[in-house]
Structure 1
Amino acid sequence: MKAVFRCDASIQIGTGHVMRCLTLADALRSEGVESHFICSEHAGHLLELIAQRGYQSYRLPYTDQVQESDEDVLEHASWLGVTQKEDAKSCGEILQLLQPDWLIVDHYALDIFWESAMRSYCQKIMVIDDLADRSHDCDILLDQNYLPSYQTRYEKLISETTIKLLGPSYALLRDEFKELRRLKHNINDRARPQILINFGGIGNFKLLSNVIEAINNIDSFNYYIVTGKIKPAEICELRKSISNPNITMIDYTSEMPKLMTESKYALGASGSTVWERFCLGLNSALVKMASNQSPLLNYLKTNDLVDDLGDYKNLSMASLSLFFANLDLDNEKYLKRKKEIMKLIDGNGTNRVAKVIIEGIKSER
């Protein structure tokens, strides 16, 4: 069985789409499925990481000189770098050679126009989405988000025959989260609880600067900052700005799950990492890093599952200082939240999704 993933990472897009596709590809590989990736060469792409994980990738040249066409009316159309028609032509040539059983698409700039054009090159199509803002031609639709209408919001956007995998029980998490969830971690005995700070794979220098300035004067906690991808000169500037000896800063780690289990609280973005924290019972304060994160953040706040720090553009050093100064991790609300967020995510979502994909092809044979 063969699967091909069409997804991108970039400074603008972030890394989450590629990372969750890699998680699913790993689960499929354990079941004997051969996976390939098709990605554009955006600034900030993850093609080297894909190769390091053992997958063959096909590079699409990137250009920002996009000529608008009738199908490019999507809010995130610019994320593709070309028109859907041009991308479909390039991908079609690759898919014609690979002849996959499954084409798995995780891209906000692609919709039914592109997917329908790919039908003749694969047996089945799966779409991973978060937005429910465009129509799809697919056999499986996966949206792992927890929203007021998550069970119904795709009703007019997909076929009645499409298999819907909706809600956080299908969250695409690596197996290590499920394993670490079972272990007991003695983090409550530490003199200073650890706070994990990370805003995604692509860092934000200004936000990180404000955070460091705020926590330099608050020694109640140990702080572990994972900056994400920022310029080397910016890394140096951030390091020079640290005066609190309880702050540790790195730009990248492959041990984020371990860091989460060692931490008592997290400060981060309202993206896919939310589900990783929830799986491990890690309470958090969330920051909106992109407009499409608003619905999830608002719903989690409404259900009192997270602390909401609002839009990163409006997050000042003064407001961060006030937040950390008043942060009481022994408050009973955090114990209650921990139980509630762990109920939402059990860590088995990736295996559930992989099973549906594999059964979908077996039923055709």
Structure 2
Amino acid sequence: MKVVFRADASLQIGSGHVMRCLTLAEALRAEGATCYFICREHPGNLLDFIRSKHFEAFSLDATEAADPDVSLASQESQLAHSAWLGAPQSQDASECAALLGNLMPDWLVVDHYALDARWETALKKYYNELLVIDDLADRPHVCKILLDQNHGRTERDYIELVPDSCQILAGARFALLRPEFAQLRKRSLERRNSPVLQHLLITMGGVDQANATGLILQALRVCPLPDDCRISVVMGLKAPCLASVSEIAATMPWPTEVLVNVTDMAERMTSADLIIGAAGSTSWERCCLGVPTIMVVLANNQKPGAEALLRSGCVVLIGQPHDIPERLPAAIFDLAQGSSLSELSRQAKNVCDGLGVERLFGSMSNG
């Protein structure tokens, strides 16, 4: 099987789309597939990281326009996230056509809020089957499989947006998690039986453009954390506020380490008693491991998923970055009592079991 992924990362987009595609690509490679990536060179892209995982990654220029040789409607209606593409859909399709024409993949996997059925249709002759990974349900697609891994999503959200023949995989049971999360699930859940708050993990995504991490550390100074508590902060190498966060960490009342580009995130989550984390794709990792979570929404498109988790009793939702100074201390005070940690863990573990990649691979193989 030959599979091509079209996904981007940037300071604006974040890293989640590329990271979940990498998870799928590694699983497909383990089953014998050959995988390629096509990414635009936005500031904050992950092209080098993808290549470090031994995948061939083709880059699209972030500034120079291409002469379109793929026909799309001349007046393109704007999608809510059109600016994320860095080019018109017609141009992007033209550039991808030149690459896909040589590769002719069995599957094209698209994980991009700025692409829709027009782009997919324009490139139809260059791939056999199409998988779309989405979170928004706000635009049409012409795919064979549509995957939305957000808690609370159902087939009804997409039924009017995809062909009748499309298989819709909706809900967190299809979350694309690396295999180590399912492997560590049992151990992580067992250590939640007698919760204590001794290890606090902060993870606000690979970019954290709003510097929510710095706001969290400042707010924690007045929180009732135990004297023997330790704090771990995980950030991406390209996070613009990495240096300032490191400076704050050095002055915290509790031992605080700042970790960059960690490769053992499942282990670190398993060892944490509480996570302060961003809404988004890492939510399902935390649920799989049953880790109690205080959640911060970093982008408007994260709100529906965050609110669905709140309704399920899986998280404490404290709002957006500007809400952190006021709301975080109260949330920490409540959770430091212990019983609330147990209840969050109990609800979270029912959301996701970590086997979503296996379920998707089965659908792709049968397709």
Question: Is TM (by shorter chain) over 0.5?
Answer: yes
CA contact (8 A) 1:205 1:234 kept: no
Q: Aligned equivalents of 2:195 and 2:146: distance in 1?
A: 44
Q: Structure 1 residues 21 and 329, CA, compared in 2 at 3 Å: closer, same or farther?
A: farther
Superposed CA offset, 1:14-38 (max 9, x none): 0000000000011111111100000
- Say which of 352, 356, 363 aligns to 1:349: 356
Instruction: State the match for 1:234 in structure 2.
Output: 244
Q: Aligned equivalents of 1:21 and 1:226: distance in 2?
A: 21
Structure 1 unaligned blocks of 5 or more: 361-365
Superposed CA offset, 1:258-282 (max 9, x none): 1100011111111000000000011
Q: Which amino acid aligns with 1:131?
A: L
Q: What's the secondary structure of 1:223's corresponding residue?
A: strand
- Say which of 263, 272, 278 aligns to 1:269: 278
Matched, 1:304 2:347: no
Q: Structure 1 residues 245 and 146, CA, compared in 2 at 3 Å: closer, same or farther?
A: closer
CA contact (8 A) 1:64 1:82 kept: no
Q: Structure 1 residues 179 and 215, CA, compared in 2 at 3 Å: closer, same or farther?
A: same
Q: Aligned equivalents of 1:350 and 1:223: distance in 2?
A: 31
Instruction: State the match for 1:328 in structure 2.
Output: 336
Q: What's the secondary structure of 2:22's corresponding residue?
A: helix
Q: Structure 1 residues 122 and 298, CA, compared in 2 at 3 Å: closer, same or farther?
A: same
Instruction: State the match for 1:121 in structure 2.
Output: 126
Q: Aligned equivalents of 1:281 and 1:320: distance in 2?
A: 21
Matched, 1:280 2:284: no
Superposed CA offset, 1:176-204 (max 9, x none): 00111133664777975211111111124
Instruction: State the match for 1:289 in structure 2.
Output: 298
Q: Aligned equivalents of 1:65 and 1:2: distance in 2?
A: 28
Superposed CA offset, 1:101-145 (max 9, x none): 000000000000000011100111110011000000111111111
Q: Aligned equivalents of 1:296 and 1:188: distance in 2?
A: 27
Q: Structure 1 residues 234 and 34, CA, compared in 2 at 3 Å: closer, same or farther?
A: same
CA contact (8 A) 2:279 2:305 kept: yes
- Say which of 334, 341, 346 aligns to 1:339: 346
Q: What's the secondary structure of 2:335's corresponding residue?
A: coil
Q: Aligned equivalents of 2:119 and 2:128: distance in 1?
A: 15
Alignment TM-score, normalising by the size of structure 1: 0.91
Identity across aligned pairs (percent)?
37
Q: Aligned equivalents of 1:336 and 1:191: distance in 2?
A: 13
The 5-angstrom pairing of residues 136-215 of structure 1 reads 136-147=141-152, 150-183=154-187, 186=191, 192-204=197-209, 206-215=211-220
What CA RMSD, in Å, does the superposition of the two structures yield over aligned residues? Answer: 2.2
Q: What's the secondary structure of 1:6's corresponding residue?
A: strand
Instruction: State the match for 2:69 in structure 1.
Output: none
Q: Which amino acid aligns with 2:2?
A: K
Structure 1 residue 334, shift from structure 2 partner: 3.2
Q: Which amino acid aligns with 2:117?
A: I
Instruction: State the match for 2:231 in structure 1.
Output: 223
Q: What's the secondary structure of 2:296's corresponding residue?
A: strand
Q: Aligned equivalents of 1:53 and 1:69: distance in 2?
A: 38
Q: Which amino acid aligns with 1:141?
A: L
Q: What's the secondary structure of 1:135's corresponding residue?
A: coil
Superposed CA offset, 1:194-235 (max 9, x none): 111111111246422221122234442322111333245434
Instruction: State the match for 1:32 in structure 2.
Output: 32
Matched, 1:83 2:91: no
Q: Aligned equivalents of 2:64 and 2:286: distance in 1?
A: 35
Q: Aligned equivalents of 1:61 and 1:125: distance in 2?
A: 24
Q: What's the secondary structure of 1:343's corresponding residue?
A: coil
CA contact (8 A) 2:9 2:18 kept: yes
Q: Which amino acid aligns with 2:45?
A: H
Q: Aligned equivalents of 1:94 and 1:60: distance in 2?
A: 10
Alignment TM-score, normalising by the size of structure 2: 0.91
The aligned length equals 355
Q: Aligned equivalents of 1:359 and 1:155: distance in 2?
A: 21
